[in-house]
Chains A and B, each alone.
Chain A
Amino acid sequence: MKANCWIAPNNVAVEDVPDPQILNPRDAIVRITSSAICGSDLHLLQGYIPAMKKGDVLGHEFMGEIVELGQGSRDGLSVGDRVVVGFPIACGNCTSCQRGLYSICENSNPNAAIAETAMGHSPAGIFGYSHLLGGYAGGQAQYVRVPFADVGALKIEDDLPDEKVLFLSDVLPSGYMAAEMCDITSGDIIAVWGAGPVGQFAAASAFLLGAERVIVIDRFPYRLRMARENTGAETINYEESDVLDTLREMTAGRGPDACIDAVGMEGHHASAALHAYDKAKQAAKVETDRPHALREAVLACRNGGTISAIGSYGGFIDKFPMGSFMNRSLTLRSGQAHVQRYMRPLLERIRKGEIDPSFIITHTMRLDDTPHGYDIFKNKQEECVKVVLKP
């Protein structure tokens, strides 16, 4: 089969690799009909997540048709079913899974010992997301093996097109969970850093959950325009105006009630000097992540507000404004999305027409063109927001 493989930093290639096969009783083999490139794939592409090996198959947002099932699969999955697969691999049996915290499943990372060294405790394994998180082959391929398919694969029973349900695998639940972590109450103003797919879904979800106003912050006019048109958010271009001042003014001095960081470890800063400072530290491996958005979110948030961090971080950050955070009674919530918890309810919302996630798709291409897809997505060319791959 064909699969998109990581070769070296900033180098991916579509290669012929062996077909997947059932390894465990609860596995399923899925023939992929659509997969996507996610913003967090860029961290892997650029080599910021250390445990990548030449030949690793990438991709954790995908859907398709079950072509083979292991002996032990439970709960009504059968060959021929059309499914969307959540990106965290979760067993459904451990304490974390039973509490709905699927992305910290205690059993699905076979490399837990390595992750423990880096993180203290191990999170769940993730498809195509480095050996630190399990060394699972990803879904930018023709076929993929799905462990614990009875927990991770959601059957799509009606004829909703791939484009409407594909993002249940990651970016839609991620954006939704980011908004949910804000505990939105009536009249709340939510600020969202990052107008990528997760940021836009977070903005849309914040409105769904009752926010009064949503303000999206980014530096690409086309992404901000998209957020305005599709979610009804107001926008700030941080290269044109000072974010803290503008937010203070827009909220009459209070600051946003909650701030969502949908940027993560590769943030940019309007000040070239500050950006260079973090970039240099990152290059020297003194700091692994560039937390510009997180720092700004802390400073912008109203007293007693909440920071909801959904952007991916890999390791260690410097200069977290702890004084501001502590003295102003802020709350920080974060996590990889517990996708399995949100897939079914969000599918219902899609069915009812409350949200149509397909608006973020700007490019659809063949699996063979994946390297080009990575290129335009990374460099923000051709107004690229989301690339969908068709094997």
Chain B
Amino acid sequence: MTDTLGIERASQDRPSEGLARLLGWFSLGLGAAALGARSRVGRLSGIDGSPTAQTVLRIAGVRELGHAAALLVPRRAGWGAWTRVAGDAMDLAACGRALQGRRGERRRRLTYTTVAVAGITAVDLYTAVRVARRRRPEGNEVHAAVTVNRSVEDVYRFWHDFENLPRFMHHLQSVRMTGDRRSRWTAKAPAGRRVVWDAEVVDDRPNERISWRSVPRAKVPNAGTVRFMRAAGGRGTEVRVQLGYRAPGGMLGARVAKLFGEDPQQQVCDDLRRFKQVIETGEIVRSDASPEGSAVQQQMKQRPARPLATRGAGR
């Protein structure tokens, strides 16, 4: 599954995935009980007393183990949840048939069993629908926009030179052009490591938009589009950025955030703020409390607003 930016996506939907695994363990328990303690299960559920019931229970036990395997073994419990729904349908049918021949205490127990199976069916159906729906890509894609007091031509030209990007994108160490459309990007990663990937421009319409994408098999698959639009009434240029990335090994969400140092949305907003500063004033504004520039992380860890202690006191 790829998203609008052309990045391979995995599931984002952790809760339903977790529920599917829980049902997998539930199946395992049921299967083991049905096979190991057949007569007691039969008596408890009210379906004991006939040779057919013994066979039905045995089949159901094997089937539950199958569900368990389908839900627990694969990395993603995709269709496994639907096998449980199918099994539930079989169980309900069996219960319905059995109810016709039962009376008294056994009928009452069987009724309870049927109601319980119906409840489980509802949970299974809910999980299956959620797990199936989760494939829709989401997250890991951030948007931000800024208005810059410069002409569209100036802004486009500045961005088009990718070697300018590290001046305002703080997680980037360098971008080097390696060909007409190809470039090599180096980014800072946690623990002083670096990540390098190659990217290519996939769409370039002068003064309108630039799209780029990491080449296949990049360590950090990512892509971005920046659009430029003249702001009405001489208000400069509206710059809209759309970025998407996926971290190595399918790690998602928070771990991507860690790779890039902070919340990606905030990161992109800060990057654009610095972009505006660089293109409008020629510098990234630094206060005495945050001489490294403006980034949310630095804002959180600010020193008192007193000058830097590098020159020695007492002039």
Contacts and interface: CB of A to CB of B under 8 A. Distances in A.
A137 B288 contact: yes
A138 B305 CA distance: 8
Contacts of A72: 282-283
Interface residues of A, number: 47
A55 B307 CA distance: 10
A1 B315 contact: yes
Given A53-B302, A111-B290, A113-B296, A18 B308 contact: yes
Given A113-B270, A113-B299, A147-B285, A5 B280 contact: no
B6 interface: no
B266 interface: yes
Contacts of B286: 23-24, 110, 147
Interface stretch (A88-96, A164-172, A226-234, A365-373): A88-96
Contact of B313 (A1, A24, A54, A137): A1
B39 to A, nearest CB: 66
Interface in A136-194: 136-138, 142-143, 145, 147-148
Main secondary structure of the interface of A (DSSP, over half): loop
A134 interface: yes
Contacts of A256: none
Contacts of A135: 287-290, 302, 305
Given A17-B313, A57-B305, A57-B306, A136 B287 contact: yes
A26 interface: yes
Give chain B's interface residue range (CB within 8 Å of chain A).
35 or more
Nearest to A130: B305
Contacts of B266: 113
Contacts of B270: 113
B33 interface: no
Contacts of A106: 276, 280
A63 to B, nearest CB: 18
Contacts of B104: none
B290 A110 contact: yes
A143 B315 contact: yes
A19 B289 CA distance: 14
Contact of B304 (A55, A91, A125, A134): A55
A5 B305 CA distance: 9
A194 to B, nearest CB: 28
A17 B305 CA distance: 11
B311 A19 contact: yes
Contacts of B269: 113
B139 interface: no
A148 B299 contact: no
B306 A16 contact: no
A45 to B, nearest CB: 15
Contact of B299 (A5, A19, A111): A111
Contact of A17 (B291, B296, B299, B306): B306
A108 B315 CA distance: 28
Given A19-B315, A21-B311, A125 B287 contact: yes
Given A19-B313, A137-B288, A25 B282 contact: yes
7 contacts: A18-B312, A94-B280, A95-B149, A111-B299, A134-B305, A135-B290, A136-B289
Interface of B: 147, 149, 235-236, 266, 269-270, 273, 276-277, 280-291, 293-294, 296, 299, 302-315
Top 9 nearest A-B pairs (CB, nearest first) are: A135-B289, A55-B304, A110-B294, A20-B307, A18-B309, A137-B288, A56-B305, A93-B280, A135-B305
